Structure 1
Amino acid sequence: MRLRKASALAASVLALSLAATACGSGDDEGGSEGGSGGGDSITIGIKFDQPGLGLQTPDGDYAGFDVDVATYIAGELGYEPDQIEFVESPSGDRESMLQRGDVDFIVATYSITEEREQQVSFAGPYFLAHQDLLVRAGETVSSPDEINELTLCSVAGSTSAQNVQNDFAPDAQLQEMGTYSECLTGLENGAVDALTTDDSILAGYASQEVNQGKFELAGLELSDEYYGVGIPKDDTELQQQINDAIQSMVDSGAWQEAVDANLGPAGYENEPAPEIEAAS
């Protein structure tokens, strides 16, 4: 199976990781004891259509904050960038992909929820985002009450879609699409009033060169979304290994470097790295 190279920033982040952990990163053949390490390659689920987070570029490479986090973790597990196979992980398929063993772990704006923890486990969290709305430039939504009057678009299987229906806007019309790119097209042509998902994802779309000046965030913090690394249910050994890798990325400064490089162009002000939960 053909392997893709990671983004340039991801490679540099990985280099920092390997330099910092050279004394304890395992043997020359790569991999780590236990968990998913130790093979010739590692398969990681990411998003392919989220600018600034997980994006497949026209030349077949991958770029974004989640890509950099995934690459750093893989490095701590003993894998070089060219040993990583990235696989697209749509929101509605993430649990089944982990359960079937299609991927070793998933780094794909994957919010930790009690419902999901019934089916899979999480390492982290590694990022805190807030649900918001993306609207056309010049339009405003000043309060959650106004959302009930809108036609919203989100991705099927996402916590954002569930939050709309269950929490803050049960009367809003909700269209669920397969990808956020489809929602963005609907927003641009007037088929929907707003795209709703995490502010980090929205900032990535708004900062794309082709979209600059077309859209803006409403600035509503509608929920707290803690992104975790999805892993097979009850794999506590892998969970601890990934937790250690995330902490190393934060402590080294590589985490903030990746945030600034990928989301900074949109003027996005991130929350500090969240406290990592103990493996259980």
Structure 2
Amino acid sequence: MTLRSIRSAGAFAGTAVLVLTMSACDLGTEPEGKGEKIAIGIKFDQPGLGLRTADGYSGFDVDVATYVARKLGYSEDEIVWKEAPSAQREKLIVSGDVRFVVATYSINERRLKEVDFAGPYFLTHQDLLVRGDEVAINEVEDLNSRKLCSVTGSTSARNVKEKLAPKADLQQLGGYSECLAALESKKVDALTTDAAILAGYASQQQHWGKFKLVGLSLSDENYGIGVKKGDTALKAEINKALGELVSDGTWRKLVRKHFNLSSYESEPPPRIQD
């Protein structure tokens, strides 16, 4: 029985027949919904991962979240998408504004003090995006003499300040699209964050040829799905769904779907932690 079936049992006992189990379904299959809503936090400004456009929401994280929601018993039209900026993800979870967050959310010890994580479901590495005509950055030490941009509250910004290049001129802005604009206008020398995020921007048609990934693996970033601290039942349900995402071939299909326009090559799916 899914978490949603448990909640619904009291309200519909004696008046409706509950579906206790759901068969595995692909991305094109809509389970029958019961009118409830689920709020999920995603990024709104990350091409290839979580992007809001006039046509709706798209990206690898969006499709993963949709798959998980279906396994929990929610149809796509019962999902309420909420923006989850890097600096606000823990707050959204702790306050209950969202049920879970799927937003390029790296698992680390600092965050585990406030929230729990299901997964991981994706492994990437911190890298740099530079202009196509930029002189090569060959090693980490080169960053100390550069102007860099990352997002407030991100692991990437923290890594630069505390580990990688403490002498770098680091600007922290509200979103990666703002950093990309600063890079294009030559206000900064490089945008630094996870390679998967950078690949999403570089693969947009309007950016072809303008930017390139440096190719430095500066860290390991395991993306997890953030849930409220202590919600072991939800974590277990999501981990089960993520296991099926990989085993039924959907994970690989989504990687090809969202990253095939760039030279980025993803790592194999990471092992899900209990």
TM-score by length of 2: 0.88
Matched residue, 1:93: 88
Matched residue, 1:35: none
Matched residue, 2:72: 77
CA distance in 2, matches of 1:273, 1:71: 18
**Structure 1 runs not aligned, ≥5 long:** 1-17, 31-38
Matched residue, 2:141: 145
1:19 Cα deviation after fit: 5.2
CA distance in 1, matches of 2:102, 2:40: 7
Tell whether the 8 Å contact from 2:33 to 2:75 is kept in structure 1 after alignment: no
Q: Residue 206 of structure 1: which of 195, 202, 205 is its match?
A: 202
Letter in 2 for 1:162: R
CA-based RMSD = 1.4
1:233 matches 2:254:
no
1:197 Cα deviation after fit: 0.1
**Runs of at least 4 residues off by over 6 Å:** none
Q: Residue 254 of structure 1: which of 250, 254, 259 is its match?
A: 250
CA distance in 1, matches of 2:40, 2:49: 14
Distance change in 2, residues 1:219/1:68 (3 Å):
same
CA distance in 1, matches of 2:152, 2:77: 32
CA distance in 2, matches of 1:84, 1:195: 32
Letter in 1 for 2:187: A
Superposition pairs of residues 1-280 of structure 1, within 5 angstroms: 20=24, 40-59=36-55, 61-139=56-134, 140-278=136-274
TM-score by length of 1: 0.86
Q: For residues 80-134 of structure 1, give each alpha carbon's deviation from its aligned partner in whole angstroms, at most 9, with x where no partner exists.
A: 1100111000000000111110000000000001000000110000000100000
1:20 Cα deviation after fit: 2.1
1:266 Cα deviation after fit: 0.9
Identity rate of aligned residues, in percent?
A: 55
Higher Cα radius of gyration: 2
1:57 Cα deviation after fit: 1.2
Tell whether the 8 Å contact from 2:149 to 2:171 is kept in structure 1 after alignment: yes
1:138 Cα deviation after fit: 2.6
CA distance in 1, matches of 2:79, 2:25: 19
> SS of 1:79's equivalent?
coil
1:267 Cα deviation after fit: 2.2
**Structure 2 runs not aligned, ≥5 long:** 1-21
Letter in 1 for 2:133: G
CA distance in 2, matches of 1:117, 1:204: 27
CA distance in 2, matches of 1:29, 1:70: 16
1:21 Cα deviation after fit: 5.8
CA distance in 2, matches of 1:168, 1:106: 27
CA distance in 1, matches of 2:147, 2:159: 15
Letter in 1 for 2:99: D
